[in-house]
Amino acid sequence: MEAHGVCSTGVSAGNKASFRETSPSGHESHVSSSSEVLEAIENVILDVLKSLAQEKAPVLTLANRSDWRNIEFKDSVGLQMIPRCTTKQIRSDCPRSATRFALTLKILSMIYKMVQSDTYATKRDIYYSDTLLFGSQSVVDNIINDISCMLKIPRRSLHILSTTKGFVAGNLSYTEEDGTKVNCTCSATAVTVPSNVQGIKNLISHAKFMLIVEKDATFQRLLDDDFCNRLSPCIMITGRGIPDLNTRLLVRKLWDTFQIPVFTLMDADPHGVEIMCVYKYGSVSMSFEAHHLTVPAIKWLGLLPSDLVRLNIPKDVLIPFTKQDENKLASIQKRPYIACQPMWEKELEIMAASKLKAEIQALTSLSSHYLSRVYLPNKLQFGGWL
């Protein structure tokens, strides 16, 4: 089913990419009202009906979300879609894209009904409403993102919720949209990132900083060591690998609300650097929502490639690069934001020269509590971040 292609590209999208939104930090932000969402969908259907009335094959025009030529880098925002970008056309009369056209209209109709009835669904709910029709979850995910970009309406205003996999812990409490009070006290268990980050309110924290942890295992280890309270109050978040939308939204909301330093703790490998860049600068595919998903103030706390040499990490716990690692690192080094980060550039050069990577767990080779009792306290106390 992934063969739902497109039949032409290269058309200018005019201002298709500009969202009317404003965040507390001063960027434009606008959570679309139900009437605006319904009107936007009705306009798409009206265009389809007009084409049919003129005996023309209906076409949906979408911004090319995955094309780097449509992306610009701004230090204060990250990766964002340019106002006039190339587009792709989903044609109803082209065998390669007719199915995609039909599925897009199907999901538009589902969104319309949900907004009308003030009900919500996850992307997973939509896929499982007709698995034979949609074929795969990724087809549904891509179409929903295309619709959000086409309508210039954030996904949460379309009444579609993301399935959350991230966790949050530490000095933070808030009230969910339904009135449930959540207290993220740092204990052996963490709180699941809320599925409707936009709806949380009454956020209270005395945290001095926020720590984004790449992996769940490291996150749990820090919880067990009572890291959130041992040094100074903090908030810890993990997306458990590549972060989902809700985890990214929460990191941004917490930064907007509390304006505290935000640090990342990642593996010293290309994959860890990639994940850190997603939090800090965003991703190409979601660049049309950059103002809500990126935190350009994020600092790289560890694990730095230079730390491996500085701390004399034993060679037997380091892992040789694969060809995939080499390609991933080379790709990251060419990205526009790396040129603005000379210290990051230097670290990536160290990694490329050594062709070795290390997981955060490599620090246990020094001592079992080295991460929480030595490495992180020293880094935070003496400014060991980039």
Give Cα 77 to chain centroid, integer Å.
14
Is the separation of the CB atoms in 94 and 102 below 8 Å?
no
d(CA 90, CA 96): 9
User: Which alpha helices (DSSP H) does the chain contain, by range?
Assistant: 34-53, 98-117, 123-128, 131-134, 137-151, 216-224, 227-230, 245-258, 270-281, 290-293, 305-310, 323-333, 342-354, 370, 376-382
d(CA 75, CA 69): 17
| Residue owning tokens 């084409």 | 51
Is 128 part of the annotated catalytic residue set?
Answer: yes
Other beta carbons within 10 Å of 288: 25
Is the separation of the CB atoms in 363 and 303 below 8 Å?
yes
Write down the catalytic residue from 112, 120, 127, 128. 128
Q: Which two tokens stand for residue 97?
A: 């894209």
d(CA 244, CA 123): 12
Q: Which residues are tagged catalytic?
A: 128
